[in-house]
Amino acid sequence: MADRTKYFIGNWKMFGLSGSYKILERINSFIQRDKKNNKKYKVIIAPPFTLLDSFSKRFKGKKIKIAAQNCYEKDNFGAHTGSISPFMIKKTGVNFIILGHSENRALGEDDKVIKLKVSLAIKNKLNVIFCIGENKKEKKNKQTLPVLKRQILSVLKKGYKFNNIIIAYEPVWSIGSGRVPSPVELKKIVIFLKKFVNKKIKSKIQPKLLYGGSVDKKIIYNLKSVRELDGFLIGGASKSSKNFIDIIKNFYK
């Protein structure tokens, strides 16, 4: 039977100080109390690099898991000022990593570099949350599917197994804008992507597919009607334990 576990993943981007562990503590205690649903979902939070080591130690063995937000594409150690390797991330005890985020693509990260990052992250036994998504202009020009296909084919290698890669569809025009695709539109894209990935990457395991972009406690009511989705990648609303918990609560209402 297909695994129906849902993922609620928080991407903190450039947010968080050492005391921000309290946000995770509140989310973690909610999960513990949520006996009715807590076997149906997993929660992962991606703080900045500065907090990975302390958060991963503090939440070791707890319900909540920690993810990194990016990494360098080569080597374990090297003369790469300001860079952090997947090897170093794994050594902090972290097991997940977000890669290919559009905010990093906008800074010049291309498919070729993302491919190297994904490959090295998997080699270091990190689970990858791989972000794809079209921008406003591409959407307007009806290029959504060709863009998504290109992003997938130029990064994911044939034979990758989807027990360690989650795909997050994050339309760039939706991030931080309060605008989301309609459920009908989203459903079409999700079904298309799952079939496409299965056929092209030839994995026996169904890929997990998340949606990201302006997810909050209200919009979740619309998004939850897309049953094919395996969860959500949440930016702004993941910085508050209340907002994040409300998203989970409203999803299961």
Among 109, 134, 170, 230, binds ligand 13P (CB under 6 A): 170
Q: What is the number of alpha carbons within 13 Å of residue 12 lying toward its C-beta?
A: 23
Q: Exactly one of 6, 7, 8, 11 binds ligand 13P (CB under 6 A); which one?
A: 11
* Footprint of ligand 13P on 90-149 (CB under 6 A): 101
Output 71 or 234, the one with its CB closest to ligand 13P.
234
Beta-carbon contacts of 159 under 8 Å, excluding residues fewer than 6 positions away, are: 201, 202, 203
CB of 63 to ligand 13P, least distance (A): 21
Residue nearest to ligand 13P (CB): 235
Per the DSSP assignment, residues forming a β-bridge with 169 are 132, 211
Q: What is the 3-state secondary structure (H, E, C) of 117-173?
A: HHHHHHHCCCEEEEEECCCHHHHHCCCHHHHHHHHHHCCCCCCCCCCCEEEEECCHH
Binding to ligand 13P in span 173-232, by CB under 6 A? 175-176, 212-215
56 to 95, contacts with ligand 13P by CB under 6 A?
A: none
Query: Of these, 86, 236, 246, 248, which contacts ligand 13P (CB under 6 A)?
Result: 236
Q: Which DSSP helix (H) or strand (E) runs through 96?
A: strand 96-99
Q: Which stretch binds ligand 13P (CB under 6 A): 35-43, 169-177, 189-197, 199-207?
A: 169-177
Task: With beta carbons less than 8 A apart as the criterion, state whether 183 and 223 touch.
Answer: yes
Which residues are catalytic, by number?
A: 101, 170
**Rounded to 5 degrees, what angle do the CA atoms 236, 12, 18 make?**
125
Number of residues that bind ligand 13P (CB under 6 A): 14
Task: Report, in Å, the least distance between residue 62 CB and ligand 13P.
Answer: 22
Interface stretch with ligand 13P, choices 30-38, 56-64, 144-152, 170-178 (CB under 6 A)? 170-178
Query: Which positions touch ligand 13P (CB under 6 A)?
Result: 11, 101, 170, 175-176, 212-215, 233-237
